[in-house]
Homo-oligomer: A and B are copies of this chain.
Amino acid sequence: MVTTEQLREEPAHCCPDNGETLLDGDNAAVLADVFKALADPTRVRLLRYLADSANGTVCACHLPDALGITQPTLSFHMRKLHDAGLVEREQRGRWAHWSVNAAALDPIRSFLRLETPTGSTCC
Question: For the side of the interface on A, what is the size category?
Answer: 35 or more
> Considering the complex, which residues of chain A in the window 1-49 have a beta carbon less than 8 Å from any beta carbon of chain B?
2, 7, 10, 12-15, 17-18, 20-23, 25, 28-29, 31-32, 35-36, 38-45, 47-49
Partner of A10, one of B25, B93, B100, B123: B93
Whether the pair B117, A100 counts as a contact (CB closer than 8 A) is no
CA distance A61 to B11 in the complex (A): 11
- Which A residues lie at the B interface, using CB under 8 A? 2, 7, 10, 12-15, 17-18, 20-23, 25, 28-29, 31-32, 35-36, 38-45, 47-59, 61-62, 65-67, 92-95, 97, 99-100, 102, 105, 108-109, 111-112, 114-118, 120-123
